Amino acid sequence: MPRIALGLAYDGASWQGWQTQPHGVTVQDELERALAKFAGAPVPTICAGRTDTGVHAAMQVVHLDTALIRREESWVRGVNTFLPPSIGIQWAREVPDDFHARFSARARRYTYVLWQGRTRPTLWAGKVGWCHQPLDIDVMRQAAAALVGTHDFSSFRSSQCQAKHPVRTMLCVEIAAIGSFVVFTFEANAFLHHMIRNLMGALLQIGQRRQEPNWMLALLAARDRTQAAATFSPDGLYLSAITYESRFDLGDLDGAATLLAPFLSR
C-alpha cells in the first residue's frame, strides 16, 4: 500500500485548529472529507505539526496510506477540487514506508508576522498580528538570544498542553523589521501547545520596554506559566517549514518565501 506525503497550506482563521474534533470544524476533518471523496473510502492522515485555532500554515506536511494508485499531480488537483478556498494541497510525493510526517521531522519552523502601526491592519485582518505601540527591535533580539538551546519551556506552556515533558531545543530565533512589519522566526525540534504565542507575549512586553531583556532568562528559570505574559493573538502565526532527512527527497519545504511574500515584500 503506497504511502503518500502531501504539502498543505491553509488559512486557519475559519478553522478550529488542525486536529480532528467531534464538531468537525478543523483542517484535518475537512482534508479527510476531501480525501474520502477523491479516494472513495476513508483516508486517515497524520501531520507534522498540530496547529491551534486561528493559526495558519504555509507548509504543513501530512502522510497517508492508501491502496489508490494515482499520479502525484492527480492527488493535488483531484483533492483540491473537494477542498474550500482556505485549504489547498501544494504538492504530493510517494514516500518510503518508514516516512512519518511527525516522527521523521527533525525540526519545525514557525513565522509570526506582526503589523506595527497606530491603526489596525485592515487589509490583513486575521493574517497578521498587531501592535500599536513602538517596539525596540534590538532589545527583543537580546531577549530572544536566551531562548536558543535546550530549555524547560514550562513558563510558555499552555495548561492544556498534552506533551510528555516541557523540554525543547530551540535552534534559532530571528527578528527582522521589514517596513511596517516585524517578522519573527522560531525554529525548534518541536513546540509545546501555545508556546510561540506565549513567547510572543513576553517578547512584546520587552519590546515595549515594560520588561528588561533579562526577564526572558528569569521566565525560563521560573518554569511557571503564571509569571509570564498573556498569550498573544494567533492571527499572524504560520507553520512555515518542516525539515526532514534528504533521503526522503521532499525538496524545499520552506513555505515562507512564497506564501508569505505579500507581507515580506512590502
CATH topology for the 107-238 domain: Alpha-Beta Plaits (3.30.70)
- Report yes or no: 143 and 216 within 8 Å, Cβ to Cβ: yes
Instruction: For residue 178, give the nearest of 142, 128, 237, 233 by alpha carbon.
Output: 128
What's CA 41's distance to the chain center, in Å?
29
> Does 264 score more than 60 pLDDT?
no
CA distances from 157 to 48, 50, 65, 227, 229 (A): 19, 15, 33, 12, 11
pLDDT at 238 over 80: yes
Among 215, 141, 225, residue whose Cα is nearest residue 185: 141
Residues 80-114 have pLDDT tens digits of 999 999 999 999 999 999 999 999 999 999 999 99
- In the set 52, 224, 235, 254, the catalytic residue is 52
Alpha-carbon span 251 to 245, nearest angstrom = 10
- Confidence (pLDDT) at 251: 72
Give every CB contact of residue 71 below 8 A, 6+ residues apart in sequence: none
For 236-250, what is the mean pLDDT? 93
In Å, what is the CA distance from 209 to each residue of 115, 123, 138, 200? 18, 28, 11, 14
What are the cell numbers at 240?
512555515
pLDDT digits (tens, 9 = 90+) for 193-218: 999 999 999 999 999 999 999 999 99
Coil, strand or helix at 150: strand
pLDDT attached to residue 162: 84
- As a whole number of angstroms, the distance between CA 21 and CA 52 comes to 12
Q: How far, in Å, CA of 34 to CA of 81, rounded?
A: 8
257: confidence class by pLDDT, cuts 50, 70, 90? low
Each domain of the chain, given as residue ranges in start order, spans 3-104, 107-238
* Cell numbers for 208: 515595549
Per residue in 9-36, pLDDT tens? 999 999 999 999 999 899 999 999 999 9
CATH topology assigned to domain 3-104: Alpha-Beta Plaits (3.30.70)
This prediction's pTM? 0.94
pLDDT of residue 179: 87
How does residue 262 score in pLDDT terms, banded at 50, 70 and 90?
A: low
Quick one: pLDDT band at residue 39, thresholds 50, 70, 90? Answer: very high
Look up 97 and say whether it is catalytic: no
Task: Give the Cα separation of 124 and 264 in Å (integer).
Answer: 13
**CA 220 to CA 225: how far, in whole Å?**
10
Taken as a whole, the chain contains a residue count of 266
Q: Do domains 3-104 and 107-238 have the same CATH topology?
A: yes
Three-state SS letters, 15-59: CCCCCCCCCCCCHHHHHHHHHHHHHCCCCCCEECCCCCCCCEEEE
